[in-house]
Structure 1
Amino acid sequence: MLKKIITIMATTLAFTSGVAQAALVNVDYVVLDKPIPQLHKNKVEVLEFFSYSCIHCSHLEPYILKEMKSFAPDTYLRPVHVVWDDNVYYNLARVAAAVNSTGMKLKADPVIFDAIFTKHIELWQPDVFNKWAVQQTAFDGQKLVKAYNSLENSATATDMRKLSEKYNIQSTPIVIVGGKYELKFPRGFAAGMATLNELIEKVRNENSTGAATTRKLPKSIGASLAASANR
């Protein structure tokens, strides 16, 4: 009998340990006091404040890129490079702007992080970046350089600076879902991806509920509410 009880307890423990734990507010994520407007209101935005000079960002990036590949059509990644000065961060933001505008994040980001942290190449220096980029074969370096030297590039990097300042971004990486839920990583980046997907679904449901409420509100009820508000 004792052996049977121990077996049942062991089986139960194994089962419960395999159940995914729901994300906890103020542990796995926090709700922002000041939401950040999404670029696309009715979609699910995954906003990533990062820096190519941030070692933690380099560790997070493989997980973010993997998730990005499987995003549903209503979900998109919005990478914003932080700008904290007029030299290193601003010039790296120009690199990020070029990567974003050419759609080469999946191919270029791993190579850029490797160049900075493994090969110690100073890609924040424009001359160094231009020379390095055209030599790359993992992505279209010529196309990236053209985007980097375009008229729009500096303006986009300046916009990244404004976002960094407006929302007082003091550290990286910071991942925000739906403009209002900031992802935390108490159990590491791999575990954080489960929370990321849970928050994406949470925002998706909130968007659907809001849209359904708006569509299903009868005109008579709407008029009644408006009349009550004006009394």
Structure 2
Amino acid sequence: MMLKHWIKTIVVAASLISATAAFAFTEGKDYKAMAKPMPVAVPGKAEVIEFFWYGCPHCFAIEPYVDAWAAKLPKDVNFRRVHVMWDGRNDMEGHAKIFLALQGMGLDAKYQQAVMKAVQKDRIELRNEAKLLEWVKKQGIDVAKFKANYNGFSTQMQLKNLTKITQDYQVDGVPMFVVNGKWVTSPAMVGAEDATVTKMVDELIAKDRKAPKKK
């Protein structure tokens, strides 16, 4: 009986060590400091930005975990998504306009995964406006309002802003997460396209909360 007790104790201890090791994040490997810290959009709140592209398969893989995580965020955390726009990548503009049009209608979060599924799984060419509007109608979205947002002057201005933000945050791959304008992490850095990356984000939020406040 004593031998069984010790074996059970060792197994439990090993399991705890293994679980702890699974989230033993290392700076420089699993996350890194921003070369140039950026201001947060809402002062007094922790900020998490997810940089993504509708055409990115890695973004599509991680999005269900991000949605589940975002649904449970405390009120003092401001989470927002930014569709990247890299210079010389005209193939991104059509996707970015979809994001901005939906964002203008307050529907970007609701249809985040739906757009990715249409692009990557259903292979619908949403950069073709006729096919896009047909898809929009099938989703039950107001086509007239969407089209007005999609082709609006403000959307063209915001496209330039997306390009600037992508450059300012030095986004060189997606998905990429920035915490409080100070820390960067990604599925590529943590080595997993699952809830590990949101665990890393939570760790960075906690790390920043524990940091001494500037007087």
TM-score by length of 2: 0.84
Output the TM-score relative to the length of structure 1.
0.79
Output aligned runs, 1:73-222, within 5 Å: 73-84=75-86, 85=88, 87-137=90-140, 142-185=144-187, 186-188=190-192, 189-206=194-211, 209-210=212-213, 214=215
- Tell me by how many angstroms 1:199 deviates: 1.4
Deviations 1:45-93 (A, max 9, x none): 1111110111111111111122221222221222111112463212211
**8 A Cα contact 2:175 2:186, kept in partner:** no
Instruction: Tell me how far 1:145 sits from its aligned partner.
Output: 3.3
Tell me what 1:6 maps to.
7
Distance 1:21 1:54, change over 3 A: closer
Q: Which moved more, 1:56-65 or 1:77-86?
A: 77-86
1:8 maps to a residue whose letter is T
- Long gaps (5+) in structure 1: 215-231
Structure 2 gaps of 5+ residues are none
Question: Structure 1 residues 145 and 77 mapped into 2: Cα distance closer, same or farther (>3 Å)?
Answer: farther
Distance 1:14 1:95, change over 3 A: same
RMSD: 2.3
Moved over 6 A (4+): none
- Structure-1 residue corresponding to 2:35: 33
Instruction: Give the fraction of aligned pairs with identical amino acids, expressed as a percent.
Output: 28
Contact preservation (8 Å) 1:45, 1:177: yes
Please say which of residues 77-86 and 25-34 is displaced more in the overlay: 77-86
How far apart are 1:24 and its partner, in Å? Answer: 2.2
Distance 1:45 1:144, change over 3 A: farther
Larger Cα-atom Rg: 1
Count of residue correspondences: 209
Deviations 1:31-55 (A, max 9, x none): 1111222212321111111101111
